[in-house]
Each structure stands twice: as C-alpha cells, then as structure tokens.
Amino acid sequence: MKFAALLTAAAAVSAQLVVEPTCEKLVDNMALPRPANRPDSFNNPKTLNLLGGDYGVDGNSSVAFNFAATDGHVDVTPGYTPGDPLSDADLHPANILANNYFYFKFVWDGQVNSNKFDVNVCQDLTPYQGLYLNVSMPAGSDVYLTLTQKNAACSARTRDSQYVKLSDFHTPNGKPQAFFVPFSLMKFEFDGVTLYDMAHAKDATFVNFNPPNVVYSFYHVGLVNVGDACTPKPAGGASSTSGSVSASASAPAKTGGATTASAAANGVVTTSKSGAAAAGVVGSAVVALVAGFLMM
C-alpha cells in the first residue's frame, strides 16, 4: 500500500495541479500593506513576511523588496563566495557547498539579546504537505531548496533536510511560474536516513543559485494543508499526459509578469515541464519516492 501511494504521489507530481484557496496558509504574496519591519538583537531592521518570519541572504548577495498592491515581488541577486566544506560540516551535505543563499523564516525566532534563537520558537510544518512557489528564474538556471531545522528546544540549529532542485518542478524560462514542492521529498535529513523533524522547522533556504549575479524573483510563497481534500489535483479533474511537474492554483497565475486575478480565483495555474522533460523529472521523482519507501 505504501509503495502504491508513493507511485501515485509521483504521478501527481507529473500532472497539471491545482490547490484550493482554502487549503493555503499564505507565507507571502509580496502585496501591500506589509507588516512593520522589526529590528533584531543587533538593531538590524528585518523585513518580515506575512507569518512574521524574516528574509535574509548571504553577505555577497542582495535582495530588493518590490512590494506592491498587485504583482509585487522580491528580487534576489545572488553573489558568489566559494563554500567551505569544513564550515558547519555536520549541518550540510559535503557535496553541496553554500556559495550563496536566500532564506525566509516561517516565524520570528527572536534573536533575543545575544542569543541567535529565542528558545521555544519553531515552526511546526506537520499540518502541511508541501510548499508552493511562484518564481521567475532565468532560462537554464537552477537552485537547491532545503528546510533547515532546530533541536527540540528550538535553541540551536541542527541538520538540513534533503536538498531538491527547483528545476525538478518546472523549466526556468525567465517568466513567473507556479509549482508545488511536496515535503515527502524532504522527509529525511540530507543523509537520506535520519527523519527530518517537521515539528521543529527553522526556515526554507535556497542554496547555490546558478548562475549568480542575475535576478531571481519570488512572487508568492504558500504552504499546502495536509489531507486528501487539499492534495494538489490535476486541473479539470483529469490526468495530464504532458502536464507539469507541479503547480499551484492559490498563487496568482502570472503571464508575462502580469497578475491574473481571475485565474487565481478560478484555480488556474501556470505550468511547464512537458513531454520528454516531464518524463525525466517524473522519473527522478519516482526514484526519490521509491528510495523513501525502501527506507521506511
């Protein structure tokens, strides 16, 4: 039964999917009005998302917050600093160095006084089955996504989840595209053996934007509730043979950078990854899901 369920999930990843608006916990739609900025313990003003978590980048990257009533977006221009394989080697996979990164937290974790984290502040992701994004990435580009986590006391960072490539879920083409990333593909820590603790999440981090020094734009970020009723389903209720790797309906569908409000209201999605490209990605998803099954 578990094996069949995993194959079903892999097939769903290949289809054009929609998510009911009531099944979304909105992290950010980059719209106005905004929560007020909040200073950390070093008095650095932090820009917050709608959940109260902050955004951040590494020291050689930049981020521009282009919030607007419609079609707002956050633009990340990643720099490049060769990652150190010995730095926090116990927290990250040795074969994926953090040459650059961008993150958003799910909750404000304080940075109270000289402490990096406020004790007992984590984000419980167990009520959610995945993350969906509306992102514009340059053609041919890619970036990893991982979930960072804390210990049970929420007082220190521990090991990252498995890393997934965003190109496994859409084909970057320089235009905004919405897609869904199931947490089932990130259920283990990066070693692929130890379960990732979804109840003590820290943030979602995008690692190794490639190429650097070009703009990556984020238009919408959301969490999809668990439950069959909220599982992303094929548009129109029918399976798609060409389809997309994944998609989101709750995020406003965008064409050529313009938001289509009626599309969002009616569950229309933007998609990509058809034909041979989709087949290759679906194959990767099946391998990942089957691997997860064999480790259960």
pLDDT in tens, 71-113: 999 999 999 998 876 677 778 887 788 899 999 999 887 654 4
CATH number, domain of 145, equals: 2.60.120.430
pLDDT at 86: 66
Residue 287 lies in a domain: no
Residue 289 lies in a domain: no
Residue 5 lies in a domain: no
- What's the domain count of the chain? 1
Residues of the domain holding 144? 16-272
pTM for the model stands at 0.74
Residue 241 lies in a domain: yes
Residue 36 lies in a domain: yes
Phi, psi (deg, nearest 5) at residue 84: -100, 115
Count CB-CB contacts under 10 A for residue 242: 14
Encode pLDDT of 160-174 as tens digits: 999 999 999 999 999
Residue 193 lies in a domain: yes
Residue type, 48: L
- Indicate the angle between helix axes 2-14 and 275-295, nearest 10 degrees: 160
Asked if 289 and 14 touch (Cβ cutoff 8 Å), the reply is no
Q: What's the length of the chain?
A: 296
Residue 63 lies in a domain: yes
Residue 295 lies in a domain: no
Longest dimension (CA), the chain: 55
